[in-house]
Amino acid sequence: MSSGQAGPRGALPACVIIAYSLGILPVPVPRSRNARLHRPKRLSPGSRGPFPRAVRSPRPRNSPESSFLAGILQELHVEVRRSFPSLDRDIRGGERVYLNSGGGTLVAETSARAQARAAQYMNAQDGKITSGEIHTAELQATARTNVAAFLNAPSANQISFHSSTSHALFNLSLAFRDLLRHGDNLVVTHLDHAANVTPWESLWGEDRGLEIRQCRLCSDGTLDLDHLERLVNRRTRLIAVTYASNGLGTIVPIHSVVRIARRYGRPRPPTGRSRGWQGALVVVDAVYHAYHAPIDVRALRCDFLAFSGYKIFGPMIGALWGRTEWLKALRPYRVEPHTDEAPVKFEQGTPNNPSLAGLSGALEYLLWLGEQIERASEGHPGARLLRERLHRAYRPGERRRLKWALCAIREYEKTLSTALLDGFRELRPHGVHLHGISDPARVAERDPTFTFEVRGKRGETIKRQLWEDAHIEVTTGSSFSVALYRALRLERAVRASFAHYDNLETVQHFLDALRRIVT
């Protein structure tokens, strides 16, 4: 099946076409280009084998639209940075440059205030009679509505809340207890955070004896889609995949994963005594990508998607979206008095109301940012086409403003990534090796996370020197992307990860500090 088709003779849905034009989905790679990929010898499912080479794309030119969005966010940057009080000071008031947003973004002031107010005044339980319980019910409903807007989900009733994304994905994995059987197989990838690997490997591989297949990487740290295509067969029930790598920043073309998953049909919940289904479900861990670019679950056409509040400028809380028919069909573990209806049946215990308030507060910040960007776009020639596309795709209100914000963040962060990739290239002769996509021409294929090693130096040594010499906070170790670190045999890795509240001065400060260490 061609990647540009929804079926043998079908056309792409309008929402997908608009998503391509907005950049929410990358344009599919034609099969003629895939044919030029170096294909390794055919391997058995799950085997590692050699890395295939990746195709290089020509260096893109900045469009007027891209330049406009990045420029407007640059003009707003003083206000953006003011929205994050802990940006340049630690809890003791000491100077710092925070470059560990991949481990958790800074908390927006709107989120912190909302959390504090809810912790002080909110009832624990919701209800319909007293003012406190009515307020609590409204807060919970608002949080679902806000997350549905953030993901462009068809319904707020498709959103459930969990203590973390790891918790959400474990809950989801357990909920398949009646539907998977011996002979089925599941696919995980070497790019993924352990949160989207361990629930499937431990429960369904180790405990239930299902075959867990592992999709490997290409030499540039991208997902090997040819290998994925060979792994998937008629008994593949589910593909668990990240939207972007927590270790390398590589963005996964989810539309291509869905195309492969749907090769044998579109999955529908089994009925009666039947337990299997046609095609493979796609479970997306969007934690790392959620604060870098717009997400639209309708355009992605995946089946489940999870993200965390603490990676979008808010509190420690996980959110899970799923298709209604599958949420109804699954049977998660729950306490007896808990309602057996989606989405509440996926939530064990009383919701964390201050965290729900903080999540809405984080999205309130993005709504403010989107409003500023949208207002600045009025009458600007560089924004005309984007305005038209957003107006066609989203009704006026929260959904459109959130997309304005995330589109601007995506384009602004490309300027940071380009400067960083140029800087790492200059440091290469001094023993600095950047893993993953390193060509500035491919900046649209990655988020601004940079894992690197320095020849002859331990990661902890680099981390300590950056902190002591320049007050720069980075991280070392696997960052929970265990399969990735094993596949690349990373032993001295350091990770610096950026967000839209950083600027080119931050980038230069980091590169200068690293240059002093290695030269």
pLDDT tens by residue, 68-127: 999 999 999 999 999 999 998 877 888 899 999 999 999 999 999 999 999 998 888 888
pLDDT: which is higher, 265 or 9? 265
Integer Cα distance of 458 and 110 in angstroms: 39
The per-residue pLDDT for 33 is 34
Say yes or no to pLDDT of 275 above 80: no
236 HSE (CA, 13 A, CB side): 30
Greater confidence (70 vs 12) lies with 70
Would you state the pLDDT for residue 360? 98
Q: Whole-model pTM?
A: 0.89
Contacts of 197 (CB under 8 A, 6+ apart): 188, 189, 240, 482, 483
Q: What is the mean pLDDT of the chain?
A: 88
Q: Is the confidence at residue 221, as pLDDT, over 60? A: yes
Q: Of the given ranges (19-28, 326-335, 426-435), which has the lowest mean pLDDT? A: 19-28
Mean pLDDT, residues 266-282: 87
Out of 20-24, 131-135, 298-302, which region has the weakest mean confidence (pLDDT)? 20-24
Q: Which residue has the higher pLDDT, 198 or 60?
A: 198
Q: Average the pLDDT over each of 52-61, 114-123, 279-288, 326-335 and give the range with the smallest value.
A: 52-61
Is residue 205 within 8 A of residue 237, CB to CB? The reply is no
- Go through 311-326 and write b for each residue having 16 or more CB atoms within 10 A of its CB, e for each that does not: bbbbbebbbbbbbeeb
pLDDT band at 13 (very low <50, low <70, confident <90, very high): low
Report the pLDDT value the prediction gives residue 478, as an integer from 0 to 100: 76
CA 363-365-371 angle, to 5 degrees, is: 100
Strands lying side by side in the sheet with 236-242: 159-162, 318-322, 304-308, 281-285, 236-242, 185-189, 211-215
pLDDT at 476 > cutoff 50 = yes
343 upstream amide cis, omega within 30 of 0: yes
Q: Report whether pLDDT(9) > 60.
A: no
Q: What is the pLDDT of residue 15?
A: 59
For residue 263, the 8-state DSSP code is G
Give the whole-angstrom CA distance, residue 153 versus residue 343. Answer: 13
- Could you tell me which residue, 450 or 6, shows the higher pLDDT? 450
The confidence score (pLDDT) of residue 214 equals 95
Percentages helix, strand, coil for the chain, rounded to the nearest 5?
45, 10, 40
pLDDT in tens, 38-59: 333 333 333 434 345 443 334 4
pLDDT for res 69: 93
- Looking at residue 225, its amino acid is L
Q: Is the pLDDT of residue 20 over 70?
A: no
User: Is residue 29 pLDDT above 50, yes or no?
Assistant: no
What is the spatial distance between Cα 180 and Cα 208, in angstroms, rounded to a whole number? 9
Is residue 4 scored above 50 in pLDDT? no
> If pLDDT is split at 50, 70 and 90, which confidence band does 129 have?
confident
Q: What is the pLDDT of residues 374-414, one digit of tens each?
A: 999 998 888 889 999 999 999 999 999 999 999 999 999 99
What pLDDT, on a 0 to 100 scale, did the predictor assign at position 37? 33
Could you tell me if 299 and 18 are in contact, meaning their C-beta atoms sit under 8 angstroms apart?
A: yes
pLDDT given for residue 348 in this prediction: 84
